[in-house]
Amino acid sequence: MNAHSEMKVAAEVAAPASLGIVMNCQLEKVFYGDFLAVRNSVVPIEKNKITGFIGPSGCGKSTVLRSLNRMNDLIPIFRFEGKVTYHGQDIYDKKVDPVVVRRYIGMVFQQPNPFAMSIYDNVAFGLRLNGFKGDMDERVEKALHGAAIWNEVKDKLKNSGLSLSGGQQQRLCIARAIATEPDVLLMDEPCSALDPIATRRVEELMIELKEKYTIALVTHNMQQAMRVADTTAFFGVDISQGSRTGYLVEMGPTKKIFEEPEQQLTREYVRGEFS
């Protein structure tokens, strides 16, 4: 049995906890209004690993990522069919409050989006939201250390988060996301607005962060997936129905996806034959 089908079996047969699978996305159909955006994709997310989502634009990789903490619920016409289990609990269950889901499953966005508040207040935001009563200063410092930005901002915690450079803002957003110590961190093309040096810093940071967190990362940059992802999911676009519907083509250890993929489509994509 090869790694790819093993993964599939693991995802479908489940018993997620024993295999270290924190989340399992069993997506059947995702619609925006009448438009079928993504279909039939099973994406398990393993603990303390970075799972990279790659694929051409319009393949639904961001949509899938944003389904993992119900961010897509902000879009009124969005509709999800299927299940996303988080420690065995379906987060799309009617009883589940999406607000609570997002407190466990943090998110870092494509554009750095710090709040128009001080650096300190940005990081403390989630802690205050959760009614944290302990030593706030300590947690803020810890989060800023964790996001590898402490040395740059320690003398200006009162300054606006918006006064930082783009790369610093993104690391501030990472600090904000990890301050509450979420279980899973979703990163939606976190480096696409950053220059190469800032990108490198954030990539190093991701590798440090996976010691404590489980990360799912969407990237349009295949080199980035090769550098940081342990597991890679390749999504493709199906245009056979006259529409553009994304789906999971293949998922497996990053090395395998890039060096000896099973699917012809994956091979063409990782060779850069289309994008």
SS (H, E, C) the chain: CCHHHHHHHHHHHCCCHHHCEEEEEEEEEEEECCEEEEEEEEEEEECCCEEEEECCCCCCHHHHHHHCCCHHHHCCCEEEEEEEEECCEECCCCCCCHHHHHHHEEEECCCCCCCCCEHHHHHHHHHHHCCCCCCHHHHHHHHHHHCCCHHHHCCCCCCEHHHCCHHHHHHHHHHHHHCCCCCEEEEECCCCCCCHHHHHHHHHHHHHHCCCCEEEEECCCHHHHHHHCCEEEEEEEECCCCCCEEEEEEEEEHHHHHHCCCCHHHHHHHCCCCC
Q: Which of 8, 29, 83, 103 binds other proteins (CB under 8 A)?
A: 103
Binding pattern for the stretch 151-190 against other proteins, x by CB under 8 A and - elsewhere: --------xx-xx---------x--xx--x----------
CB of 268: closest distance to other proteins in angstroms? 33
CB of 116: closest distance to other proteins in angstroms? 4
15 near other proteins (CB under 8 A): no
CB of 254: closest distance to other proteins in angstroms? 26
- Which is nearer to other proteins, 177 or 228 (by Cβ)? 177
Report how many residues bind other proteins under the rule CB under 8 A: 30
115 near other proteins (CB under 8 A): yes
74 near other proteins (CB under 8 A): yes
CB of 209: closest distance to other proteins in angstroms? 17
Q: For binding to other proteins (CB under 8 A), which residues are involved?
A: 69, 71, 74, 99-103, 106-107, 109, 111, 113-118, 125-126, 129-130, 159-160, 162-163, 173, 176-177, 180
